[in-house]
Amino acid sequence: MSRYAIGVDLGGTIVKIGLVTDGRVVVMRTLAAESAGGLGARLPALRETIDGMLAAQGVARSELDGLGLSFPGLVDSARGRVLSTNAKYDDATEIDLEAFGRSFGGAFYIDNDARMATVGEWRYGGGRGSDNVVAMTIGTGVGCGVVMEGRLVRGAHHQAGCLGGHLVADYRGRRCTCGNRGCVEAMASSFFLDRIVREDVRVGEAFYERHRPFDFKKLFGLAGAGDPEAVLVRDECMDVWAAGVVNLIHAYDPEIVVLGGGVMRSAGVIVPYIQRKVDEMAWTPWGKVRIAASELGDEAAILGAAYCVTNGNL
């Protein structure tokens, strides 16, 4: 009989809940996150959605390995606790999530969301076949995770590999939400995109006023249509991501870097651009690090969380 696991991806705007078996999402449900209102207030709705999903699929609790949570913050996965949040689910450090997870009858696992996406891509997606994988997820922020020699990199305080978005791309750059200056996230993420366009001295005010508000979909669309100012900003962002990827390569020595997030709708532009930059700039005398697009999209963190529930702390 097949075994199942539940993977929950607690995003800032949407919670995604997947029922997983054999490395495959059988069914996915979504829930409005309302993350500014805290996690505690959403747990009853989360429970109801999971129970409804299990009932609809005819899966008994005895068939469940357990529940894995993918969380947007710093997490101590050994103790099953959230350590630090950043404007999403700020009450999570006070909640006994292990009790919630175990109430479904199996094991419980919780870890950082980008780290869970990295595990998903490593086992089932763009990083398959290598035991040295870095994954970077580009969206509102820039998330990161690292698998080195077949193990998740965690560090002394559970934050190693998670802070790839906060590697410095420009030490004179704008202030980041983390307190540092010129982080990859501050220089090229959706959260900062309005300021990135507005503060670029090469871009005219008319361009800014005509096209605001900005997101990467719009920016890549304009650039793809040949708008020269959009091309400048797009390439600036890709240069920042490339600098971040080179930093990650120098730090973690991967064979492959998997890029994910909503921007990868434009993978056909981004992957070859960053591959070329990495080939030029990374110090890798053994050969070339392969740059690949996420193959799992928004299922990556669900599949990673489910994998960790079934296989234990990696």
Cβ distance to Zn ion smaller for residue 166 or 234 = 166
Q: Which is nearer to Zn ion, 171 or 283 (CB)?
A: 171
Write down the least CB distance from residue 176 to Zn ion, Å.
Answer: 3
CB nearer to Zn ion: pick between 127 and 143: 143
Nearer to Zn ion by Cβ, of 132 and 247: the residue is 247
Taking Cα atoms as reference points, which of 111, 20, 116 lies closest to residue 63? Answer: 20
Enumerate binding residues for Zn ion (CB under 5 A). 166, 176, 178, 180, 183
- Shortest distance, position 120 Cβ to Zn ion, whole Å: 24
Cβ proximity to Zn ion: between 143 and 304 the closer is 143
CB of 172 to Zn ion, least distance (A): 14
- CA dihedral in degrees (200, 205, 208, 211; nearest 10)? -150
What's the closest the beta carbon of residue 178 comes to Zn ion, in angstroms? Answer: 3
Nearer to Zn ion, 160 or 308 (CB): 160
Cβ atoms of 106 and 66 within 8 Å: the answer is yes
- DSSP assignment of 42-102, as one string? GHHHHHHHHHHHHHHHT--GGGEEEEEEEESEEEETTTTEEEEESSSSTTGGGS-HHHHHH
Q: CA-CA distances (angstroms) from residue 227 to 20, 192, 197, 200, 214? A: 43, 21, 14, 15, 14
Instruction: Work out how close the CB of 92 gets to Zn ion at its nearest, in angstroms, rounded to a whole number.
Output: 20
Least Å from the CB of residue 116 to Zn ion: 21
- Contact (Cβ atoms closer than 8 angstroms) between residue 304 and residue 123: yes
Please count the helices (runs of H) and the strands (runs of E) in the chain.
10, 12
Instruction: Look up tokens 């419980």; give the residue.
Output: 108
Cα–Cα distance, 49 to 42 (Å, whole number):
11
Nearer to Zn ion, 52 or 155 (CB): 155
Bridge-based pairing of strands 64-71 and 4-10 is parallel
Which residue, 73 or 127, is less far from Zn ion as judged by CB? 73
Kindly state the smallest distance separating residue 180's Cβ from Zn ion, in Å: 4
Q: Where are the beta strands (DSSP E) in the chain?
A: 4-10, 14-21, 24-32, 64-71, 73-76, 81-85, 107-112, 133-138, 142-148, 151-152, 256-260, 290-293
Instruction: Tell me the closest approach of the beta carbon of residue 186 to Zn ion, in angstroms.
Output: 6
Please check whether residue 302 is in contact with residue 120, taking contact to mean a CB–CB distance below 8 angstroms: yes
